[in-house]
Structure 1
């Protein structure tokens, strides 16, 4: 009976998967026939061709196996691409939903016409797919003369996000019953934030599961690569081909996990990148980037020029304390200057996070004081700027100075958000500014924005913990896998250099037991260094994806991971040589 229930559940799951896939094909933006003939059928043909090629090749199974796997990956991607697009659309709707509701609540409390609320949000390109939904509702009302509640009810049946669909349904019922938009949105705030918190935490929980799976897969691939290096000593097969085949599988596995982590990570950017209002910190960050890239290019020239004999300075001159520069250092040394922009951006990002932690207190105090004194923002800041708001205090002082110089309030606030460089500060400051301009209650606006931002900051603390554990995991895995790679390589290298001074009359044929002549040790070491550098690059991208920081954070982790691999590989070769030479 239990087996029958399990089979029934499995059939139900498969049926639901097929139905969701068919539905995703229906909601594609391109015609179905065009997608079938231009994308799906060529992908199936590529899979068939790759399978035939793998069957016809006279190579070991380890070399042939990745070929049909590549074709299958292309075919599966083509089949599930519409579902992936639908999932991305759903993710875009959920990512900014809490910000949209907060913005909508701010606009609704100003007592403007409720259709103006939707029109204003439809013009906010920052909300992406949500802004498109607002635009569709406006079109249904203005062009097709539907009522607002009917338009919301219609869109609720077509959006892929359950949260957005439920919100539109409840909004349609409430508006049809005669309740005000502001009253409804104020009561919805807690539920929307709670839903966002649940989705955010579930994403972090999914990342924890992915980290465990990633650890298991990388350990398995590490053992496979070590076996690919060592076993040809006994079998006599071409080790370069087997190592290359395992490396290709390694690349596929790591790339797949990176894409999976990227799709699961919650959307919560830290940085704000102003265009019209440049920040003074921009010059410092640009200089650090130029310095890092320039010095890296110089070291690349020294490395390659030293090998080709066209550079007056070589790596041997830079590492004069060593008898010879190990091969792993040739890969790690040229990218080392990228630590300069990596550290500079990381320090600025920490200052942004410090400003974020102070902003809820500032906006709450600003709104409460403005409401109590019934005064302008500039007059309130005259006394408020003297209070200690930590890292945000200099920015508050600059905001007061600009307002006191009679700079237009909108421009003054835009300069304030540009100096802060924070995505959250920019978003919530814009809401407060628009709400005040439209006559909203400053006290209510301040409390609403402060409460919502505090919830986001609490979730960021959990994200920071997840990122910290991921950093430790990836750093440790890089050292462990490199250690295993180079143990196998150095054992083979020592066996290749050994001479078995066997007597000519012995029946034992050493060449039949140990096949070292098939090895090209420098080439295999080069391939191992490539996979270490590739792993360091993807690991740094994973860390940046999970912590939600600036792209330049990748540079620092990439350099550190590369040096961990280079030092571990060099030390492992020396250590194995010391033990086996005894």
Structure 2
């Protein structure tokens, strides 16, 4: 079974044994010998478990690689079928068509490799397209793609034209992609619940770490530090798990050179960082070094949150541009259909059609259309003109699909049919994205509330721990009881308070990054979420400290 999978992931049995199995066995034997000979206890157990993990990884690698290729195929299936359908209405023969698809590695990813296999079977082994498709269908890791290849092979054998088949196939493949996308959204909902559960559990663990010194001979700083490290580890693992399962669905363009919007965002990011460094340095100097009376009274939570607030500027500017990009995507299908129908009706005349459409209102897309018309009217290089148009919109989807339209018209395809295929599929994709944006918006609200809840529980437990510690120090406890009850000195509790706030800062940073990871947007927008979550956590922690101080009568370090 294992050796049947190897050809599907591009590995020969001999290479797999030499590169994966034998090295893993040698390393496992060495670790086992070292563990048995030189170590005892838990260290020996770790050395004996590592070989099992290494050998298991070597055996499981083909299955992991197969699943990875499957996801890579499924997440680019919508781009593949659109490009395949658009190019099929040109004057290219089948061999050239498959060669062209095999060269689009940036756009199609693993599907370009699958297309290359078909092209090699046609060119070098003199197979027909139907035979090549049927051969590959039994070896591709994706069931959806295999079904598509089987349908295409049967259709071609029955004498149907390739362009007619692909035209009818658009809806079927897009439905398969929609089903894959919705499954990914369901997985995303599951990961959201796992993330909330994990963070809640770890918050309880950090809270428990504050109580441990009363039960075991450890100081507060040590236990809270270990809890903080555990919290960081859980956060990193959860982010990695979510990232590995999310489908590739980016929003921002992939241009080689930064656009005017990219330069603008970079400028605001630099300004935000400089203001943050200056403001934070000034506040820290005034509170802890110069000890200015009014600044000394500022709580450290509010002081730090104020210091990083300028990052909100860079995040807000990126979020505003991202919203414009989303609006451009909503207007793009209408523009492309109008352009394709206009060019088809006039029997050519791309420049005249663009001139006419650029005077109409397509929302935020209008300015980009005006620049496209100016570049096209110069008549130097239409391919670059459309490529720069995609970059200027800053949309990855517009970048891909506008280049498809240009390539089709350049190769002699019907602009009307091309715009119909692209516009319909584009509209389906952005409708799927709406569901994702709604899901991510709900998740954002959850983690905002979770940050406030963490601050409340941490600082409330901190206040209770300090009250109990103060109570123990005021009681006359016999020597016999001191050996049973661990009485800790409250002198280092201020450091514990700072460590707990560090947990909240790290949580805000990771959660802000996770939001943009899920929606595929610009990472600079995460700064805005980070600042907002940090302010929520800072205000809740400070207010909780005041309430605990007034109710329990303990002195929590607030300043």
Q: CA 1:432–1:515 in 2, change beyond 3 Å: closer, same or farther? A: same
C-alpha deviation, 1:487, in angstroms: 1.4
Aligned pair count reads 549
1:341–1:555 CA contact under 8 A, matched in 2: yes
* Residue deviations 1:447-466 (CA, integer Å, cap 9, x gap): 11111011011101100110
Is 1:527 equivalent to 2:512 in the alignment? Answer: no
Match of 2:316 among 335, 339, 343: 343
Is 1:477 equivalent to 2:450 in the alignment? Answer: yes
Tell me the secondary structure at the aligned position of residue 193 of structure 1: helix
Tell me the secondary structure at the aligned position of residue 266 of structure 1: coil
2:21–2:58 CA contact under 8 A, matched in 1: no
Aligned to 1:372: 345
In structure 1, what is the Cα distance between the partners aligned to 2:522 and 2:409? 31
C-alpha deviation, 1:204, in angstroms: 0.7
Q: CA 1:118–1:26 in 2, change beyond 3 Å: closer, same or farther? A: closer
Match of 1:100 among 80, 89, 93: 80
Aligned to 1:355: 328
Tell me the secondary structure at the aligned position of residue 206 of structure 1: helix
Aligned to 1:31: 16
Instruction: Provide the alpha-carbon RMSD of the alignment.
Output: 3.5
Aligned to 1:567: 539
Tell me the secondary structure at the aligned position of residue 270 of structure 1: coil
Q: CA 1:66–1:213 in 2, change beyond 3 Å: closer, same or farther? A: farther
Aligned to 1:132: 113
1:235–1:515 CA contact under 8 A, matched in 2: no
> When the two structures are superposed, what TM-score results if normalisation uses the length of structure 2?
0.87
Tell me the secondary structure at the aligned position of residue 271 of structure 1: coil
C-alpha deviation, 1:421, in angstroms: 1.1
In structure 2, what is the Cα distance between the partners aligned to 1:118 and 1:87? 24
Is 1:119 equivalent to 2:91 in the alignment? Answer: no
Match of 1:580 among 540, 548, 552: 552
2:315–2:526 CA contact under 8 A, matched in 1: yes
Tell me the secondary structure at the aligned position of residue 231 of structure 1: helix
Q: CA 1:295–1:323 in 2, change beyond 3 Å: closer, same or farther? A: closer
C-alpha deviation, 1:41, in angstroms: 6.0
2:8–2:66 CA contact under 8 A, matched in 1: no
C-alpha deviation, 1:441, in angstroms: 1.3
Instruction: Give the stretch that moved more between structures: 258-267 or 492-501.
Output: 492-501
Q: CA 1:257–1:128 in 2, change beyond 3 Å: closer, same or farther? A: same
C-alpha deviation, 1:399, in angstroms: 1.7
In structure 1, what is the Cα distance between the partners aligned to 2:515 and 2:178? 22
Match of 2:212 among 231, 256, 261: 231
Q: CA 1:383–1:170 in 2, change beyond 3 Å: closer, same or farther? A: same
Aligned to 1:463: 436
Q: CA 1:503–1:150 in 2, change beyond 3 Å: closer, same or farther? A: closer
C-alpha deviation, 1:203, in angstroms: 0.9
Aligned to 1:558: 530
C-alpha deviation, 1:392, in angstroms: 1.1
Q: CA 1:540–1:384 in 2, change beyond 3 Å: closer, same or farther? A: same
* Residue deviations 1:489-531 (CA, integer Å, cap 9, x gap): 2222344445765579x89967865612387323433432333
C-alpha deviation, 1:210, in angstroms: 1.9
C-alpha deviation, 1:98, in angstroms: 1.2
Q: CA 1:42–1:221 in 2, change beyond 3 Å: closer, same or farther? A: farther
> When the two structures are superposed, what TM-score results if normalisation uses the length of structure 1?
0.84
1:40–1:79 CA contact under 8 A, matched in 2: no
Match of 1:402 among 370, 375, 378: 375
Tell me the secondary structure at the aligned position of residue 520 of structure 1: helix
1:122–1:131 CA contact under 8 A, matched in 2: yes
1:467–1:546 CA contact under 8 A, matched in 2: yes
Match of 1:415 among 388, 410, 420: 388
1:221–1:250 CA contact under 8 A, matched in 2: yes
Aligned to 2:401: 428
User: Which structure 1 residue ranges, 5 or more long, are not aligned?
Assistant: 1-18, 58-63
In structure 2, what is the Cα distance between the partners aligned to 1:119 and 1:201? 32
1:490–1:573 CA contact under 8 A, matched in 2: yes
C-alpha deviation, 1:244, in angstroms: 3.6
1:237–1:518 CA contact under 8 A, matched in 2: no
1:21–1:83 CA contact under 8 A, matched in 2: no
C-alpha deviation, 1:76, in angstroms: 6.6
Aligned to 1:55: 41
C-alpha deviation, 1:352, in angstroms: 0.6
In structure 2, what is the Cα distance between the partners aligned to 1:221 and 1:199? 32
Aligned to 2:557: none
Aligned to 2:144: 163
Is 1:146 equivalent to 2:119 in the alignment? Answer: no
Aligned to 1:247: 228
2:27–2:51 CA contact under 8 A, matched in 1: no
In structure 2, what is the Cα distance between the partners aligned to 1:319 and 1:53? 56
Is 1:294 equivalent to 2:274 in the alignment? Answer: yes
C-alpha deviation, 1:533, in angstroms: 2.6
Q: CA 1:22–1:125 in 2, change beyond 3 Å: closer, same or farther? A: closer
Is 1:188 equivalent to 2:156 in the alignment? Answer: no
Aligned to 2:198: 217
Q: CA 1:66–1:561 in 2, change beyond 3 Å: closer, same or farther? A: farther
Which structure 2 residues correspond to residues 261-280 of structure 1 after superposition, within 5 A? 261-275=242-256, 278-280=258-260
In structure 1, what is the Cα distance between the partners aligned to 2:490 and 2:291? 35
Q: CA 1:555–1:37 in 2, change beyond 3 Å: closer, same or farther? A: farther
C-alpha deviation, 1:324, in angstroms: 3.9
Instruction: Give the stretch that moved more between structures: 367-376 or 516-525.
Output: 516-525
